Amino acid sequence: MRSAFSGRAGGAPHDSRGARHPVTVVAEQMTDVLLDLGYRVVEGPEVEAEWFAFDALDMDDDHPGRAPGRAFHLEDPSEPGGRSGLVLRTRTSPAQVRAMLGRTPPLRLVCAGRAFRPDPADTIHSPVFNQVEGLAVDLGLTMVDLKKTLDHFAAAVFGRGTVTRLRTHRAAYTDPSAKVYLECAVCHGVREDVSAGPCGTCGGEGWIEWGWCGTVRPRVLTTCGVDPHRYGAFAFGVGVERTLMLRHGLKDIRDIIGGDIRFPLGMEEFVPGGRPRPAPRPWTTATSRAVPAARAVPDLEIIPLTRGGHGRRGPWGREAGGGLTRSQSLRRRIGHALAGAGYVETPRFPFVCDAAWDAFGLAPDDPRRATLTLTNPITPREPSLRTTLLPGLLAALGLNLTLGNHHPALFEQGVVFAPRTGAAPALPLLADRRPAASRLDALNAAVPAQPSHLAIALTGESSWARAVDAARTAAHVMGAGLITRPTEYPPWLPGRCLELLVGEAVLGHAGELHTATVQALGLPPGTSVMEIDLTTLEHLTDHGST
Ligand SMILES: [Zn+2]
């Protein structure tokens, strides 16, 4: 039976533009640079077992990087305050560990995703940030290969002629390790007018920190089942928000993460290296602090910026252009489709406040209330991890209305966290060998499910019909036919709530928010939302295609 509002909104014209978020766009651009070098995309969970997040990366129990001051820990549900053996990953590297455990070298892997550290937000810090991390495992890899890759990467992201420098630095799972610096594009380290004071961009240093890199420790390789006597391996990582700030001269990371849709709408022009660049200077002689091998790199400017630029090396170029997972490719297409339909991408932090469930009118036993809890949240008011994208998205909708942004229409694609009872098994796996498959299975079974969801929130005329259309758009991209059926499900308004089905599987809901909910959240009447489980939708539509 079709309800009165299950049809399309008569192609209701929408007068405003949409946009994907610049962090998403830049992360994709950086990923694509590495895909062109033959890298393949890997993904991993955001809530991770400590073994993958730390032990496998040679960070033992006493390592400062896993202390509560540096990592969000999840509480053991059966023992309040107790350690669960699960953390929010502090870097994307555990995804590389998982990939190494499941594959045979040679490997070229890129992971783009979110990482978390309990740093309150200020001009340069955010508790949630995005990384792009590369890992190469092959015969005879050296620091020279790493430096060439970084130079190619930097030139592709910041423009031809970008000069990089490595400076030794201690890092978690690489040794030797270095920080990656870019030459200051404003002053090139030379101040023509000394009386004007130091350069405002680099502080007179001439170099700006971009990321980190290094040779993967043999112990990490051994743990992942790779023979360190046979294979060399290097890794590097850069922050996406930091890249965005450096490339576009942004001074405050909070402008990027705050949720004001004027930011993505005003940053639509994204051309890699599209900003005019000053003429490059010759390679500056590295100081004694530089990694010695980097000094030996000749001809830094001759690496071609073409697809598969390292193709002559066999594995480097063999898979040029491929390497994107089906999930990532579908998520990109959904993002483009929704931006084209007038929605603005608004990624939100995953932290939720339990009071949100009361505003939603959820019953005491509603499974969405069963959240994973952090032992050390950024604020005690938001101690839990989201089981739905709606609280964060609706808060952003309210913010944009307060800011006077006309008829905001927002979307987010992100993971939600299913609760789990009990602690992850403590595995004494620090030993220098690959753990048995059964032990890894036990560890994986302790990591909660983290499906990707898509949600939209909007106000204005016909908003409920547009919410249903957004679900149809996502299903269409996935190649699925979506069925809608009237239902009652908080926080939606009875009579204005549809469940979204593919076959018999209920994948989500769309419609208008309950009057009590919009009142509790301070939103205007007629606010509508849709949320759908993309992971299940993807599985239902996976017919062996890639
Ligand atoms: Zn400068």
Band (319; pLDDT cuts 50, 70, 90): very low
Q: Hey, what are 227's tokens? A: 């023979």
What local confidence, expressed as pLDDT, does residue 108 receive?
94
How many A from CA of 147 to the centre of ligand 1?
22
Mean pLDDT of 381-396: 97
Q: Is 409 helix (H, G, I), strand (E, B) or coil?
A: strand
How many A from CA of 189 to the centre of ligand 1?
6
How many A from CA of 235 to the centre of ligand 1?
27
Beta strands in 89-199 (DSSP E): 107-116, 128-139, 164-168, 174-183
Greater pLDDT, 470 or 298: 470
How many A from CA of 247 to the centre of ligand 1?
14
Band (432; pLDDT cuts 50, 70, 90): low
Cis bond leading into 218, ω under 30°?
no
How many A from CA of 4 to the centre of ligand 1?
62
Mean pLDDT of 272-281: 34
Mean pLDDT of 472-483: 94
How many A from CA of 192 to the centre of ligand 1?
11
With a pLDDT cut of 90, the percent of the chain lying above it is 63
How many A from CA of 288 to the centre of ligand 1?
21
What local confidence, expressed as pLDDT, does residue 322 receive?
64
Q: Hey, what are 12's tokens? A: 């209701």
The helix/strand count (H/E) of the chain reads as 17, 19
Q: Per-residue pLDDT for 544 more than 80?
A: no
The length of the chain is 546
Cis bond leading into 22, ω under 30°?
no
pLDDT digits (tens, 9 = 90+) for 243-276: 998 888 888 899 899 999 988 888 754 333 334 3
How many A from CA of 281 to the centre of ligand 1?
13
How many A from CA of 200 to the centre of ligand 1?
6
With a pLDDT cut of 70, the percent of the chain lying above it is 84
pLDDT digits (tens, 9 = 90+) for 295-316: 223 322 223 322 233 333 333 3
Highest mean pLDDT among 202-206, 277-281, 289-293, 466-470: 466-470
How many A from CA of 285 to the centre of ligand 1?
17
The span from the CA of 21 to the CA of 18, in Å, is 10
Q: Residue 247: which H helix or E strand, with range?
A: helix 240-248
pLDDT digits (tens, 9 = 90+) for 126-165: 999 999 999 999 998 888 899 999 999 999 998 888 889 9
Q: Per-residue pLDDT for 113 more than 80?
A: yes
Q: Hey, what are 154's tokens? A: 């930097």
What local confidence, expressed as pLDDT, does residue 12 receive?
37
pLDDT digits (tens, 9 = 90+) for 494-528: 999 999 999 999 999 999 999 999 999 999 999 99
Contact 187, 221 (CB under 8 A): no
How many A from CA of 217 to the centre of ligand 1?
34
How many A from CA of 208 to the centre of ligand 1?
8
Q: Per-residue pLDDT for 9 more than 90?
A: no
How many A from CA of 234 to the centre of ligand 1?
29
Quote the mean pLDDT of the chain.
Answer: 84
The identity of residue 286, as a single letter, is A
Q: Sheet harboring 107-116: ordered strands across?
A: 40-41, 107-116, 128-139, 231-239, 207-216, 174-183, 164-168
Highest mean pLDDT among 75-89, 211-225, 261-275, 278-292: 211-225
Q: Is 464 helix (H, G, I), strand (E, B) or coil?
A: helix
How many A from CA of 432 to the centre of ligand 1?
45
What local confidence, expressed as pLDDT, does residue 289 receive?
25
What local confidence, expressed as pLDDT, does residue 421 receive?
67
Q: Per-residue pLDDT for 240 more than 90?
A: yes
How many A from CA of 248 to the centre of ligand 1?
15
How many A from CA of 183 to the centre of ligand 1?
8
